[in-house]
Chain A
Amino acid sequence: MNAIKKYAGLIWIILGPLGIHYLLQTASSEIAKKPGIDTQIQWGVFITVFYPIAIGFILFGLYALEGNYDHLPESSAELDDYEAKPL
């Protein structure tokens, strides 16, 4: 199971940039089709909101690939141990 968790991380790492690319491409084509302020705000909000989420998704994939999800902490003490190691 831990091997699946690790290698699936690669998929999440790839999906992040793919998502951003699809979002930017759709946004530019939709704004070109309907160049009103409403369309620009709408897509501006989508990009502002989903861009950091996509980065979070890449980070999630990276953590998975590093094996950080092989064991999930079962008490705060385990988290406290980690707190000595900031990002």
Chain B
Amino acid sequence: MEEKNETKGIWKVIGASSLGTLIEWYDFYIFGSLAVVIANQFFPKTNPTAALLSTLATFAAGFIVRPFGALVFGRLGDLVGRKYTFLLTLVLMGGSTFAIGCIPSYESIGFLAPILVLILRLIQGLALGGEYGGAATYVAEHSPAHRRGFFTSWIQTTATLGLFISLGVILLTRHMLDADPVKSIEKFNDWGWRIPFLISIILVIVSIYIRLKMKESPMYTRLKSAGKTSVNPLKESFGHKANLKMVLLALFGATMGQGVVWYTGQFYAQSFIENVCKVEFDQSRTILIWAILFATPFFVVFASLSDKIGRKWIMMIGMLLAVVSYNYLFKNLYSIADDKTKTEITEKKDVKTMLTPIANTGDSIRKVVTKFFYAEGMTMIHTKTDTAYATAGKATIKPLVAVSKTLSGNDYWKMVGIVCILILYVTMVYGPIAAFLVELFPTKIRYTSMSLPYHIGNGVFGGLTPFIATLLTTIYTDNIIVGLMYPIIIASICMVIGAIYISNKIDPEVND
């Protein structure tokens, strides 16, 4: 009976908070997932200034503005309340996403187009920085102490589900614009990419309506009526040793490891499957979609378990498993799609050569498309593009080569299984972390204090994983899995710090 009273109305709180947070993640990811299409529309490579704005949009939004948003909105949340702050972040995120979908291309309005996209992307990063801390704090402050992990885990599922929905919407839109698949993709690249941005506004309006009906967090309301809210949350969070030391502990002992495990398990895995294993566009995304679908319930499972045995060791074991098995799992991903380990059916090999004349030169663009078939069911399309010169003996120095593999059913599901394991590690490190962070800081500076380490850990350490990992592969070219050194080193340091310094005790009283 007592528990029933404690959890009365909690599902409404979780539903309203999670839906908004999920939409924010969806909005943030569609830009990242459509980066190549957006770059062609707004940031032509031939123009150096536009290319510069493109680089800024990619890096600045995720890695500089997100932690800055955590500070701005965290401060606001501790000063004026959780409800209105994360309502504002939702409006900013939804509005800027919708606006990106409406901006005319670079061809139509010139430089104004990339500048507007950059500004809107920065607003997206700022809003995301403010959203998560508010939602996690809000749900945690409504939850009973002994089930805080379980209830906050629903907020934890939203980042992965946001990615899941963004991938699903993009794939669906890409294939439904025309009965002919090739024409459909052409239409998508031309104007169809705007649809995922525009439909976001419907979701945001629904979410705003629901959030408007919500009440302020009970703990914050009590604090406010007692006149005990913080006057300067930034100073209290980071200007006093006792709080600052906890912020640093949260960052180096939990969130930086969580960030790299999160991004390696989902973004880098997808990028590795597509760019290193050369698995074709749709399969590389549906593999991730299935894996997310199977693994997502475990956010709730591990967070619930953390209510019983503590948060610390679940997160640390997740990091340990990631550190010791990443090399093995990624090597397996590579070998599944490796054509050298397969038996080619040579009689089915199909070679087509196409020549497109270049006007007034006598030269032609030559495209040689070779389709390989393998006994294991895999097919591989090898496309080599070069210039066939009219002058005898002259040849292209470096022809363009593109490889695209379509996996057999068996290999496809093996990859789903491996990515599912990678996401299980994510559920271990990420499921209990909201409850852990909430319990680390007092109510009056909670929004500010927990948002910053979260967004530095997740946004900076995690968000940079695909870039740094790819960068390492360009420096050490003979090792295909050298990119994993970055997440392995960061997660190892974080795990050691977490194991030594973090307490496994569950704070029974966050109402302080």
Q: Are B501 and A53 in contact (CB under 8 A)?
A: no
Q: Are A83 and B236 in contact (CB under 8 A)?
A: yes
- In the complex, whether B51 has a CB less than 8 A from a CB of chain A is yes
Main secondary structure of the interface of B (DSSP, over half): helix
Query: A69 contacts which chain B residues (CB < 8 A)?
Result: 245, 249, 501
Q: Are B241 and A85 in contact (CB under 8 A)?
A: yes
Query: A15 contacts which chain B residues (CB < 8 A)?
Result: 493
Q: Are B59 and A82 in contact (CB under 8 A)?
A: no
Q: Are A56 and B251 in contact (CB under 8 A)?
A: yes
> In the assembly, what is the distance between CA of A56 and CA of B252, in Å?
9
> In the assembly, what is the distance between CA of A77 and CA of B442, in Å?
9
Query: B456 contacts which chain A residues (CB < 8 A)?
Result: 53
- In the complex, whether B509 has a CB less than 8 A from a CB of chain A is yes
Q: When each residue 3-42 of chain A gets 1 if its CB lies under 8 Å from chain B and 0 otherwise, what string results?
A: 0110010001001000000000000001000000110011
Partner of A79, one of B51, B60, B252, B442: B442
> In the assembly, what is the distance between CA of A77 and CA of B63, in Å?
34
> In the assembly, what is the distance between CA of A46 and CA of B461, in Å?
10
Q: When each residue 38-68 of chain A gets 1 if its CB lies under 8 Å from chain B and 0 otherwise, what string results?
A: 1001100110111001001101100110001
Q: Are B248 and A59 in contact (CB under 8 A)?
A: yes
Which A-chain residue is minimally distant from B67 (CB atoms)? A49
Q: Are A72 and B244 in contact (CB under 8 A)?
A: no
- In the complex, whether B55 has a CB less than 8 A from a CB of chain A is yes
Q: Are B240 and A86 in contact (CB under 8 A)?
A: yes
Q: Are A46 and B48 in contact (CB under 8 A)?
A: no
- In the complex, whether B464 has a CB less than 8 A from a CB of chain A is yes
Q: When each residue 485-512 of chain B gets 1 if its CB lies under 8 Å from chain A and 0 otherwise, what string results?
A: 0000000010011001101010101001
Chain B interface (Cβ within 8 Å of chain A)?
48, 51-52, 55-56, 59-60, 63-64, 236, 239-246, 248-249, 251-252, 442-444, 456, 460, 464, 467, 471, 475, 493, 496-497, 500-501, 503, 505, 507, 509, 512
Q: Are A57 and B507 in contact (CB under 8 A)?
A: no
Q: Are A49 and B460 in contact (CB under 8 A)?
A: yes
Q: Are B507 and A60 in contact (CB under 8 A)?
A: no
Q: Are B248 and A56 in contact (CB under 8 A)?
A: yes
- Besides A37-B51, A45-B60, A86-B241, 18 new A-B residue pairs in contact (Cβ under 8 A), listed by A number: A5-B501, A12-B497, A38-B52, A41-B52, A42-B59, A48-B64, A49-B460, A53-B251, A59-B244, A60-B245, A63-B248, A69-B249, A72-B249, A73-B242, A74-B505, A77-B512, A79-B242, A81-B242
Q: Are B241 and A87 in contact (CB under 8 A)?
A: yes
Query: A76 contacts which chain B residues (CB < 8 A)?
Result: 442-444, 512
Within the complex, the shortest CB–CB distance from A27 to chain B, in Å, comes to 11
Q: Are A83 and B242 in contact (CB under 8 A)?
A: yes
Which B-chain residue is minimally distant from A70 (CB atoms)? B501
The total of chain A residues at the interface (CB under 8 A) is: 39
Within the complex, the shortest CB–CB distance from B491 to chain A, in Å, comes to 15
Within the complex, the shortest CB–CB distance from A52 to chain B, in Å, comes to 9
Query: A82 contacts which chain B residues (CB < 8 A)?
Result: 240-243
Query: B501 contacts which chain A residues (CB < 8 A)?
Result: 5, 64, 69, 72
Q: Are B245 and A87 in contact (CB under 8 A)?
A: no
Q: Are B239 and A87 in contact (CB under 8 A)?
A: yes
Which B-chain residue is minimally distant from A69 (CB atoms)? B501
Partner of A75, one of B51, B251, B503, B509: B509
> In the assembly, what is the distance between CA of A74 and CA of B506, in Å?
10
Which B-chain residue is minimally distant from A72 (CB atoms)? B503
Query: B509 contacts which chain A residues (CB < 8 A)?
Result: 75
Known contacts A5-B501, A37-B52, A83-B236; is-contact A73 B512 (Cβ 8 Å): no
Which A-chain residue is minimally distant from B49 (CB atoms)? A37
Query: A79 contacts which chain B residues (CB < 8 A)?
Result: 240, 242-243, 442
> In the assembly, what is the distance between CA of A77 and CA of B411, in Å?
57
Partner of A8, one of B245, B444, B467, B500: B500
> In the assembly, what is the distance between CA of A2 and CA of B500, in Å?
9
> In the assembly, what is the distance between CA of A56 and CA of B248, in Å?
7
Q: Are A85 and B64 in contact (CB under 8 A)?
A: no
Partner of A45, one of B51, B63, B443, B475: B63
Within the complex, the shortest CB–CB distance from B422 to chain A, in Å, comes to 25
Known contacts A37-B48, A75-B512; is-contact A60 B240 (Cβ 8 Å): no
> In the assembly, what is the distance between CA of A53 and CA of B442, in Å?
24
Which A-chain residue is minimally distant from B508 (CB atoms)? A74
> In the assembly, what is the distance between CA of A72 and CA of B505, in Å?
10
Query: A72 contacts which chain B residues (CB < 8 A)?
Result: 246, 249, 501, 503
Query: B444 contacts which chain A residues (CB < 8 A)?
Result: 76
Query: A41 contacts which chain B residues (CB < 8 A)?
Result: 52, 55-56, 59
Give me the 5 closest cross-chain CB pairs, A-B, nearest first: A82-B242, A76-B442, A76-B512, A60-B248, A45-B59
Q: Are B249 and A46 in contact (CB under 8 A)?
A: no
Max chain B C-beta neighbours (<10 A), residue from A15, A68, A75: A68
> In the assembly, what is the distance between CA of A8 and CA of B499, in Å?
12
Q: Are B63 and A49 in contact (CB under 8 A)?
A: yes
